[in-house]
Amino acid sequence: MARMAARTALAALGIALTWGAQAQTPTGKPIVIGMIAEQSGPLGFYGQETTRSAQIFVDQMNAKGGLLGRPVRLIVRDSKTAVNEAVRQARDLALSENVDFLLHSISSAECVGIGNVATQAKKILFSACGNDDFTTKSGGRYIFRIPNIVARTQGFAAADYAAQKLQNAGNRYYLIAHDFAAGRAIMELFKTRIKEINPKVEIIGEAWPKLNEASYAPFITAMTEAKPDVVSYFFAFGLPFWQQSASYELGKRFPLVSSYWGGSDEMQTLPRNSIPVGAVMGGLPWYAIDGEANKTFVELYRKTYNKPPLTAAYLVLLNLEALKAGIEKAGTIETEKVADTLPGMEFNSVLGPVKIRKFDNQGTTPLWTGRAAWDETLNTGVLTDILKLPTEVYLPSEEEVKKLRQ
C-alpha cells in the first residue's frame, strides 16, 4: 500500500513538473500537430478555450526540451462549427501539410467526418467530441478519445442523479434540448435510463430549440405551462437560455437536471442574477479537481490568460497528455508504433490515473456533477454539492462495440 501511494505521488509530481520545469532547447525537425477547432460559429466559445489549452501544453513541452528532444509545433484551423469546413481543414492538414498527428476540439457533428479523413490518411486523431459513434461504430485503429463525455455518459448520469436525488419530486418529466445529434441522443438515453429505473416516469412534453435559437421565450412558456415535476435538459451552449430564463426563476418551479459538461463553464461566465440556482449540471470544474498537477495547471492558465481554465481546456489537455505519454512510451512518432502503444495504456493525467480501453481507444475519465450556485469568495457561479462520478460504468462493453462495428 505504501509503495503504491509513493508511486502515485511521484507520478503526480512528474505531471506537475511538466508544467513548470525548464530544460535545454529542443532541436531537429518539429513534430507537427494539426488542430481543427471551432474558432467561430455557435461553439466558438469552447473552441477558443481548447485552442488556448493546447497552446499552453505545446509551449510547456517546448520549454522542457520538446518531445523526444524535438520541438513541437501546433497548427490551428477554424472549423467555423461547420462539418464540411471541419472535414476540409482536416484533409488539408493531413494531406497537404502532412502533419504528424491530428487533434480535434469538441463538436459532436464534426468528429466522425474528421475521423474518416484520419483513417484514410492513416493519421492518429484525438478528439474531445461527445458523439458516441466516434470510438464505437465509427472508431478504429487511428481514432482516440480520452475524456468520457459521450452522450451515453451524460444521459445516463443525469438519469441516475434524478433517480437518486429527486425521488420525491414526482414522475412527470419534461425534456428540453438543442435539436442536433448529441441533443437528441442524450435525451433518448435519458428517457431509456430513467424509465428503466422508475417505470412510473411519464414524459409529458418535449421541446427542441435550434442550436442557434434567438428567442427561448416560447419554449420557456410551454415548459412552465406544462407544470412538470422535473425538467431534464441539454444544451450545446446554454448561456442564452439561462440569460433569457432568469426572470422566470425556473429553479423555484421545478428541479432542472442534466449532466451536460458545459454547465460548470457557463456558471463561471454568467452574471450573478442569471445563475440558475439549484439546477443540476456537469463539468470539470477547476476548483473541485484535487492534486498538484491541477493546481499547477490552473496557476499557469491564470498567469497566461488572466482567468481559470474551463472544462473545454481540460478536455483537449487530456488528449494531449495521452498523446505525449504514448509517444514517449513508444520512443518514436512513427504512426503505427504509436497506434500499437496507446490502446490499453495507463497514464497519469491532470485528473488522476486514466486508462485507454484496448477495444475502442476510449479513455476512462470521471465527470463532476453538482448544483449551480453563486460563490461569494470566488465571486463567480460554481457547482456545489458535487459528485465525482466514475463514468466507466456508462461506457459500452467490448461486445457492444463489436456489434456496433459489424
Q: List pLDDT tens digits, range 177-206.
A: 999 878 999 999 999 999 999 999 999 999
Beta-bridged to residue 283, according to DSSP, are 368
Residue 20 has pLDDT above 60, yes or no: no
Q: List pLDDT tens digits, range 293-314.
A: 999 999 999 999 999 999 999 9
Same structural domain, 7 and 133: yes
Confidence at residue 254, expressed as pLDDT on a 0 to 100 scale:
96
Residue 375 lies in a domain: yes
SS3 label, residue 242: helix
Q: List pLDDT tens digits, range 118-130.
A: 999 999 999 999 8
Confidence at residue 236, expressed as pLDDT on a 0 to 100 scale:
85
Residue 167 has pLDDT above 50, yes or no: yes
φ, ψ for residue 206 (rounded to 5)? -140, 145
Beta-bridged to residue 36, according to DSSP, are 77, 104
Residue burial 49-83, b: 16+ Cβ < 10 Å; e: rest: bbbbbbbbbbebbbbbbbbbebbbebebbbbbbbb
Same structural domain, 278 and 337: no
Number of domains in the chain: 2
Average pLDDT of span 242-267: 95
**How sure is the predictor about 22, in pLDDT bands with cuts at 50, 70 and 90?**
low
Confidence at residue 181, expressed as pLDDT on a 0 to 100 scale:
79
Residue 18 has pLDDT above 70, yes or no: no
**How sure is the predictor about 21, in pLDDT bands with cuts at 50, 70 and 90?**
low
Same structural domain, 58 and 113: yes
Residue 172 lies in a domain: yes
Residue 104 lies in a domain: yes
Same structural domain, 110 and 252: no
Confidence at residue 247, expressed as pLDDT on a 0 to 100 scale:
95
Confidence at residue 174, expressed as pLDDT on a 0 to 100 scale:
98
Q: What is the mean pLDDT of the chain?
A: 92
Residue 15 has pLDDT above 60, yes or no: no
Provide the domain limits for residue 373: 151-287+367-394
Beta-bridged to residue 172, according to DSSP, are 202
Residue 17 has pLDDT above 90, yes or no: no
CATH number of the domain within which 245 lies: 3.40.50.2300
Number of residues in the chain: 406
